[in-house]
Structure 1
Amino acid sequence: MTKNFPKDHIFPEWIQQPFLADMSDADNLKEELIDLQMNQGCQTKLRKLPLSGFWCDHLVAYPELARAVLEMIISYPTTYLCEKAFSTILQMKTIARNRLQGGLLHVMRVTLTNTKPRFQKLIAHKQQRKSH
């Protein structure tokens, strides 16, 4: 899990290794953490699933614990996407492109997406002009 996050972003041990962690780290979540640690089926699931998938699967059984974990895990990608969007806006709003007002949102949406346009498909569906 730590390979996707910066080195200075350290999660509590009870998130990364819930079955080996000391319960003093999770004061208000101790009961759910103890229940989770006693569940043998959950230990097997943790070995098979990625950490985020494991906690998503346990939202119903351990709601407070899973929500606390997911809030911590989700905060990094959300921050990254916001920073990426602001950088894109700053890049687009230069003096040369200062007249871009109405189309800025559309340009930003295209810039931030990972989807590649299929130009050949667009061209194929474009109706040709007929000569008179």
Structure 2
Amino acid sequence: GVLATPEQQVLPTLEIVSENPVYDYDAKYTEGRSHHIIPARIREDARVAASEAAARAFTELGCSGMARVDMIVDASGTPWVLEVNTVPGLTELSLLPDAARAAGIEFDALCTRLVEHAVGRHRHRVGPTAV
């Protein structure tokens, strides 16, 4: 995941391990059906490349606030971006809050940063008296 609150911050890599054969709705939203390993169990060079790819995707697509950048890393350590989700889940079982927590950002602080960033962007667009 990537945060732009206020500076761009790439969150730690996260690996999903599903107890189901497929990472499906049940695995995502039923406690105990999957768990997250942070940082992901990949080589350091692959972790750096994945973080750089996430930051680049966030910037090139003009994302703001937050985004979850889903990718796979092949056997050679090359990351492949699959999806950039600009409205990621923010539940207790969601990926982005878990990665933020691993970076030392508790859920309340994450929400505060996101709201402050949105208000700041709005003020920049319409002026200080609009908020």
Larger helix proportion of the pair: 1
Higher RCO by CA contacts (8 Å cutoff, separation 6 or greater): 2
Greater Cα radius of gyration, structure 1 or 2: 1
TM-score over 0.5 (shorter chain): no
Q: TM-score, structure 1 length as denominator? A: 0.28
Q: TM-score, structure 2 length as denominator? A: 0.28
